[in-house]
Structures are given as structure tokens and as C-alpha cells.
Amino acid sequence: MEPEIEFLDLSPEEKILLLDVLDFSIDKEGYIYDELLKERHICPYTKKEVLFQNASILPGSTLVINTSALTISEYITDKLEKKY
């Protein structure tokens, strides 16, 4: 059976609420800010700061990434490698 990954399109308000639950906020320049580390959040795939407008919160995790075809494919590859 193939693993199923479902992506949802959240409104900006819903994304802000979810980020808040995960201890993130948005700084004055529009970047995701990690409240626990007291610094801007760094995408684990691009190794760059994540702008709110480009952010994705990956399903089934607390990963916040810069959204691009490359980062999504890397996430799916990682999930499949861990599964098999």
C-alpha cells in the first residue's frame, strides 16, 4: 500500500493560528520567528530563513519550510525513505 500524503491549503489566518500553536510567530519583516529559540526559523531543506508568504507547514509534523517543488519533493523522498 502506497503511503498517502495530503496537503491542505490554509488561509493566512489558519496558518498564523497553527504557527502560534507550534511556538512560531511572524516578525516585523514577515519572516517566521521561532519563539523557543528566539531567532528566525531556518528551513531544514533550503537552509534559508522562511518568509511567511512562502511558508508551508508540512502535514504530520512540525516542519515549516520554504515552499518550492524542490523542498516538497525532498520532504516526500525523506518520508518514503523512512517508511521503507
Sequential DSSP letters for the chain: -----------HHHHHHHHHHTTEEE-TTSBEEETTTTEE-B-TTT-SB-BGGGEEE-TTS--EEE-SHHHHHHHHHHHHHHH-
Determine, yes or no, domain membership for 51. Answer: yes
Q: Provide the number of structural domains found in the chain.
A: 1
Position 72 scores a pLDDT of 87
Position 79 scores a pLDDT of 78
Determine, yes or no, domain membership for 5. Answer: no
Q: Which domain holds residue 63?
A: 12-83
Residue type, 8: L
44 alpha-carbon distance from chain centroid: 9
The cell numbers describing 68, all together, are 518550492
Position 1 scores a pLDDT of 53
Determine, yes or no, domain membership for 43. Answer: yes
Determine, yes or no, domain membership for 44. Answer: yes
What's the pTM?
A: 0.81
Determine, yes or no, domain membership for 3. Answer: no
